[in-house]
Amino acid sequence: MAKDDQTWIPEPTDLEWIESLAAPLPPALAAIEREAEPEGIPIVSRDAGRVLQVLVAGRRRVVEVGTAYGFSTLWMALGLPADGTIVTIDPDDARTDLARAWWRDAGIPDDRITVVNRKALEAFADDDPALAGPFDFVFIDALKPEYGRYLEALMSRLAPGALIAADNVLWSGRASGARPAEASDRNTEALRSFDAAVLGDPRFKATILPVGDGLLIASWGG
């Protein structure tokens, strides 16, 4: 069998083996996982979290659209240099208050993570001072039909060489058509359009990693 055999895809055994090689999950991240599952709170997969942690290495200013319980926020905070900061946007202050407690448990000083408790598009439109930029890393994981508008709002706030990441872009196989989408599912068509727009935009160098539910990665030339 050739090493690039297209009939092979990673199976649970492969993923479990990779997980067995990874560093132990920090207690605060494990606590968020335990709380999120029974509450149905969407968080990134562990493997996507580890990719984010690697991508932010050496970055200084991160903006995240969609905080939830702060799982991805914490992965990034743990990967940033000591002077790296994050601005994360989510209108649900009850969730972000819980997230703050977990960040503190992980030893992240409050001044390294700023929370904007507003709807993201409203905060961008009002030029919220916390979102002035320039940002050198963007992570998008909020309302799927708004992905394109988030990125559009962020374009003027990007530093040259910024990286953009977006989660759920494969949408459990529905974006590609591998699995059927319900006619009422606005998320599928929105994600298809977003994926096609970013990968087809000559201003970006972009790809989609089949990690978790699909992680789009793009570099911005500025």
Local mean pLDDT, 10-residue blocks, the chain (222 residues): 66 88 95 94 94 96 97 98 97 97 97 98 96 96 97 96 96 87 86 96 95 94 72
Distance, C-alpha 88 to centroid of its chain: 11
Residue 6 forms part of a structural domain: no
Domain that holds residue 30: 25-220
At 137 the pLDDT is 98
At 177 the pLDDT is 85
207 forms beta bridges with: 217
At 133 the pLDDT is 86
Residue 77 forms part of a structural domain: yes
Q: Integer distance in angstroms from the first to the last C-alpha of the chain?
A: 43
Sign of the Cα torsion 26, 91, 218, 10 reads positive
Residue 41 forms part of a structural domain: yes
Residue 13 forms part of a structural domain: no
Residue 3 forms part of a structural domain: no
State the pTM of this model: 0.94
Residue 188 forms part of a structural domain: yes
For residue 97, CA distances in Å to 4, 11, 70, 166, 199 come to: 46, 37, 9, 23, 35
Residue 11 forms part of a structural domain: no
Residue 122 forms part of a structural domain: yes
12's tokens: 């649970």
For residue 43, which of 198, 34, 77 has the smallest C-alpha distance?
34
The CATH number of whichever domain residue 112 belongs to comes to 3.40.50.150
**How many structural domains are present in the chain?**
1
